[in-house]
Structure 1
Amino acid sequence: MEIKELGHVVLYVRDLNRSAHFYGEVLGWRRLTSNGGPAMPVAAFSAPSNRTHHELLLIEVGPDAAALPSGRRVGMYHFGVKIGDSDDELRAALAQLREAGVPILGAGDHGITRSLYIADPDGNEIELYIDVPDVDWRSDPSLLYSPVKPLRL
């Protein structure tokens, strides 16, 4: 077997409308479906690039669902979403996030990428990143393990 690419992420959310607003209106994903119905309230999203049938699926589990535990735990840490290839695109995203009142959990210069970290309304962490121009990580895969430096925009 050979993995070709990461296809999609599926998240359980407490409130489908709240999460759909966050992913659609704040982050700019294109919503593909409406509420899936009473048996399974869902919403699917894709990037404007239309790369694949869907990249994100939200499934509503209701307000009584258990919260993600804090601290070190087994499970997903975050998922990354590429938003461009320039610091200007990252600056624009930072301004949009601030305007929308989304807290920035962290920021870092990874050498090959520059990243902002945020959380969705249910606490799922998301890395918004740009690829650093002119860094050839394919020729030198060790660059993936460069120490993280403070992000300077």
Structure 2
Amino acid sequence: MQIRKIHHVAYRCRDARETVEWYGRHLGMKFVLAIAEDRVPSTHEPDPYMHVFLDAGQGNVLAFFELPKAPPMSRDANTPDWVQHIAFEVGSVEELEATRARLEAAGIAVVGITDHAIFKSIYFFDPNGHRVELAANTATPEMMQRLDEVKWEMLDEWSRTKRAPKHAAWMHEREFEAAAE
């Protein structure tokens, strides 16, 4: 078997309509499908839900479940807010900058533009508390080759030591040097 692509990624939402409208207004995602049931098809549990699907571009689908009978949504208290997120690629740094300005004008707090050397990104939260990242690629083929050449060494070192290997420290060195000046 070989995976062809991600069929969809699903998250929980507080309000399906609010979520569909927010992603449409702020990220241009089209509402493509809604499924609602009184029972969960896989487990047959009685648990009504609304399952909405949004077009995230290039065959990618972002989906949400509204679960009105479930306890209120919360995050894993042991996982920092910045860890769990979904990242979408945009076409250019200019598009990223324009989107940041639009989001901020709409009252959405945005972190970044953060320079990751191989891409630049911004971060913000959707109305459900899910962290969203928009990223514009900036990598050269040489940069990607350098990273590819050390990925297994980095993983092996991390597995042994649980300390950040320095094989790719070049990616953020200039950022930390600028902050120190």
* TM bucket, shorter chain: 0.7 to 0.9
- Aligned residue in 2 for 1:100: 106
CA contact under 8 A between 2:87 and 2:132: conserved in structure 1? yes
Matches within 5 A, 1:137-152: 137-141=143-147, 146-147=171-172, 149=175
Q: Of Structure 1 and Structure 2, which has the larger fraction of its residues in helix?
A: 2
Q: Which amino acid aligns with 1:19?
A: T
- The match for 1:24 is 24
1:2-151 matches, cutoff 5 A: 2-34=2-34, 36-37=35-36, 39=38, 40-47=49-56, 49=57, 51-52=58-59, 54-62=60-68, 64-70=71-77, 72=79, 77-84=84-91, 86-132=92-138, 134=140, 136-141=142-147, 146-147=171-172, 149=175
Distance in structure 2 (CA, Å) of the matches to 1:144 and 1:107:
21
Q: Is the contact made by 1:105 and 1:119 (CA closer than 8 Å) also made in structure 2? A: no
2:88 is matched by which residue type in structure 1?
A: V
Cα offset, 1:110, TM superposition: 0.1
Runs of 4+ in structure 1 deviating by more than 6 angstroms, as ranges, are: none
Deviation at 1:106, TM superposition (A): 4.4
* Unaligned segments of structure 1, at least 5 residues: none
Higher relative contact order (CA 8 A, sep 6+): 1
**Cα deviations by residue, 1:19-54 (Å, 9 ceiling, x for unpaired):** 1111111111111024x335331210113x4x22x5
Q: Cα–Cα, structure 1 residues 79 and 42, in superposed 2: closer, same or farther, change >3 Å?
A: same
* Structure having the larger proportion of residues in strand: 2
**Largest Rg, 1 or 2:** 2
Distance 1:2 1:144, change over 3 A: farther
Q: How many residues align?
A: 144
Taking a change above 3 Å as real, the CA distance of residues 38 and 3 of structure 1, as seen in their structure-2 partners, is closer
Matched position secondary structure for 2:132: strand
Q: Distance in 2 between matches of 1:131 and 1:24?
A: 23
Q: Secondary structure at the match of 1:122?
A: coil
**CA positional deviation for 1:119:** 0.8
Q: With structure 2 as the length reference, what TM-score do the two structures score?
A: 0.66
User: Kindly, what percent of the aligned residue pairs are identical?
Assistant: 24
Closer/same/farther in 2, CA of residues 104 and 58 from structure 1, 3 Å limit: same
Give the aligned CA root-mean-square deviation in angstroms. 2.9
Q: Helix, strand or coil: the match of 1:121? A: coil
Partners of 1:112 and 1:72 in 2: how far apart? 25
